[in-house]
Amino acid sequence: MTTIIEISKKLAEAIQQSHLTQREIAAKIGVRQQQISSYLTGKTLPALDTFSRLCTVLDLDANEILCVERPKEF
């Protein structure tokens, strides 16, 4: 089972690799910088529409961030 902490860590890694600031990301997805910070500390998770925009801006695979493994083919 995926935890909020695992998701937060993956988001933090992606943001660091993007070389964008929290403020820049927040402006691109239409939230306040404090919201980005709360996602990274594990206080809250983004709403689905916000998560989708975040994945788009950071060029992320949502399955990877959510730690979803694809089933092996039979």
- Residue ranges of the alpha helices (H) in 1-74? 4-18, 22-29, 33-41, 48-58, 62-65
The full set of domain ranges for the chain reads 4-65
Question: In this structure, are residues 7 and 66 in contact, taking their beta carbons and an 8 Å threshold?
Answer: yes
Predicted TM-score (pTM) of this structure? 0.83
Question: In this structure, are residues 25 and 54 in contact, taking their beta carbons and an 8 Å threshold?
Answer: yes
pLDDT along the chain (74 residues), means of 10: 88 94 97 96 94 95 85 66
- Positive or negative, the CA dihedral 25, 29, 35, 40 is negative
- The CATH number of 4-65 is 1.10.260.40
Start-to-end CA span in the chain (Å):
23
